[in-house]
Amino acid sequence: MEPYVLGYKFRIYPNKTQQRLINRTLGCCRFVYNHFLAVHRDQWQANHRSVSYFETCKLLTDLKRQEETSWLKEADSMALQESLRNLDNAFQNFWKLHTGYPRFKSKHSHSQSYRTRNQKNGIRIVDKRIKLPKIGFVKIKQSRDCDGRILSATISRTASSKYFVSFCMEQDKENLVRPNAGGMIGIDVGIRAFYTDSLGHIVENPRHLNRFLAKLKREQRRLSRKMPKSQNRDKARIRVARIHEKIANIRKDFLHKHSTQLARENQTIAVEQLNIKGMLRNHKLAQAISDVSWSEFFRQLTYKTELHGGELLKVDTFYPSSQTCSVCGYQNALAKDLSVREWDCPECGMHHDRDVNAAKNILRKALEDKSKVA
């Protein structure tokens, strides 16, 4: 059977001692990352030479033996190695993908995490508890069953001081794949409506942020008036963080429900390939585009269609789906205006809803492109 790696995320409830151990490990991983980032920087400035991952592993061993940093031995050794791996990946991305130069991690960042590997069954779930290296058995709220081999686990602490564990699990793909209903559908995403499909169904945009915007602004104003480093400021910060988490959780729940429904009902799903990063440069629409989360929606559709045995087809960004008549193919230049929500085709006289017509064209174009490749 073909192995398939999936990620699962559950909330954990460590006791006071376990919280201190997790927080200490977070601090050790941050220290190791920052220390060897400085080593990379100094080596390049002095000798124009980069430091490899294996060199940093040897230096980490020497660092543990030094008296002033012997406290690193108290942390999970695999977590420290994974911190070095993260630093190496950051430099690889910097050199090859031209991303930004790696930055030092701040202890004042309220949302932090570390990753550890599963060796000798050191990470396992037993009776509503999960065994974590150096931490022990921690109470876990497991919302679904998952059978397979755990490869690694990421322990995270959110800005509101909640703890979560995310683990990569290797499972048999044949046991995961669920057959779909065999439909074909085109999807046109938008801001007014979350998406409109080629069958004429419209899913309204719930505008999650707008529902909590007034409350969020009020709590942020209260936070700004608190004295720095005071307990009241920390309480106000947590209230703001909880509102952000609530918005994010509602948004994720909405996206998962609709992406799962689409993957279960359709064999072929066609979408438009959007340059979302470019669209976010429009400051008038950036907040609305971020709130609607097209990137996350497309990401979920990608892996869910695969798990349900379907396919996700993408149409070129510059294809004029809204301007083309889905019946005769006439291209109406007047439909470029976004305020035109309905129009009649001058060629065949067909009346079109802008979004439904675009969804039909996206499906047709995606199937045409697929046939050409085949």
Q: Say how far apart CA 81 and CA 116 lie, in whole Å.
A: 8
CA-to-CA dists, residue 372 to 96, 314, 347, 368, angstroms: 33, 14, 27, 6
Residue ranges in 192-272 assigned as alpha helix (H): 208-224, 231-265
Can you name the residues that pair with 268 across neighbouring β-strands? 184, 311
Name the active-site residue from 76, 188, 197, 219: 188
> How far from each other are the two terminal CA atoms of the chain, in whole angstroms?
27
Quote the distance between the C-alpha of residue 247 and its chain's center.
15
Is there a catalytic annotation at residue 174?
A: no
Strand order through the sheet with 136-141: 112-117, 149-157, 163-172, 3-13, 136-141, 129-132, 124-125
Q: Say how far apart CA 288 and CA 307 lie, in whole Å.
A: 30
Q: Say how far apart CA 26 and CA 268 lie, in whole Å.
A: 44
Q: Say how far apart CA 207 and CA 218 lie, in whole Å.
A: 19
Residue ranges in the chain assigned as alpha helix (H): 16-47, 53-65, 77-96, 173-176, 208-224, 231-265, 276-279, 286-292, 294-307, 354-373
**Are 249 and 290 in contact, with CB atoms under 8 Å apart?**
no
Q: With b meaning 16 or more CB within 10 Å and e meaning fewer, what string describes 128-165?
A: ebbbbbbbeebebeeeeeeebebebbbbbbbbbeebbb
Is there a catalytic annotation at residue 272?
A: yes
Is there a catalytic annotation at residue 147?
A: no
Name the active-site residue from 272, 342, 353, 368: 272
**Minimal CA–CA distance to 88: which of 51, 58, 118?**
51
Q: Which residues are catalytic?
A: 188, 272, 355
